[in-house]
Amino acid sequence: MSAIPLPASGASAAGPRHVAIIMDGNGRWAKRRHLPRIAGHRKGVEAVKKVARAARDLGIDYLTLYAFSSENWRRPPDEVRDLMGLLRRFIQSDIEEFIREGVRLAIVGDYRALAPDLVAMIDDAMARTAANPGPTVVIALNYGAQAEIADAARRLAEQASAGTLDPATIDETLFERTLASGKLPPVDLLIRTSGEQRLSNFLLWQAAYAELLFVDALWPDFDGDALAAALGAFAQRQRRFGGL
């Protein structure tokens, strides 16, 4: 039996509490318009703002957005620089809107490896929005699920070898609490845009029972209506959590 209590099976009429999105297709959006890739990413930030606002209106508590994976460092340096520039601008100028709208900002991933001024801005933005009622918009930055899981395993192994942890007590609940993102609730609905059907190392633990939705829209074209349509598709799903 699972150590983590799972919800009862059934239709998903209540709506997802935690929606996670792999925002894919910025580059293709730009290419189709003969624009540089940065134009697609810029438009992608506009979509982030629209979708965050819609999440609040649709009663979603947690919206986790995959903005930069730990594998994205392999992109050309110019593109990495452009993405960091957009992130910097987003944190600087859009945070006031988040504060006004009651959104809480959180981060998953090793964001402390980013430029020190950006880290300071992110810490400040999280502190300034910490008391907001929500929803919580979680930005995944320099994030990779396998590294996060390996890190949790290493920390538990260290405690066990130091004699402060009995290995027999390691179960799903303890493991989950040890994950850096252990405070996030399970993902109910995971959306990937642009027609690709991969998880790309995103929230592998938390998405264990997520409903997966792959949509053809490119991320810059995704908006509040598209999110509402995704919630409609979710409502049609029968969730069984391993039961009948």
By annotation, the residues acting in catalysis are 24, 72
**CA neighbor of 147 nearest in space, from 88, 61, 242, 73:** 73
Question: What is the nearest approach in angstroms of ligand FPP to the Cβ of residue 79?
Answer: 8
Q: Which secondary structure element, helix H or strand E, spans residue 42, and what is its range?
A: helix 37-57
Rank residues 28 and 128 by Cβ distance to ligand FPP and give the closer one.
28
238-239/10-11 β-pairing: antiparallel
Rank residues 18 and 37 by Cβ distance to ligand FPP and give the closer one.
37
Question: What is the nearest approach in angstroms of ligand FPP to the Cβ of residue 162?
Answer: 38
Rank residues 23 and 118 by Cβ distance to ligand FPP and give the closer one.
23
Which residues of the shown chain bind ligand FPP in the complex (CB under 6 A)?
Answer: 23-28, 41, 44-45, 48, 65, 67, 72, 83, 86-87, 90, 139, 194, 219
**CA neighbor of 141 nearest in space, from 190, 108, 98:** 108
Residues 6 or more apart in contact with residue 51 via CB below 8 angstroms: 21, 63, 65, 222, 223, 224, 227
The label of the residue with tokens 């409609």 reads 232
Rank residues 114 and 152 by Cβ distance to ligand FPP and give the closer one.
114
Gap between the Cα atoms of 113 and 159, Å rounded: 25
For residue 244, give Cα distances in angstroms to 1, 210, 237: 15, 16, 13
Question: What is the nearest approach in angstroms of ligand FPP to the Cβ of residue 139?
Answer: 5
Q: Which residue is nearest to ligand FPP (CB)?
A: 27
Question: What is the nearest approach in angstroms of ligand FPP to the Cβ of residue 92?
Answer: 11
For residue 37, give Cα distances in angstroms to 72, 76, 96, 180, 191: 14, 11, 27, 32, 22
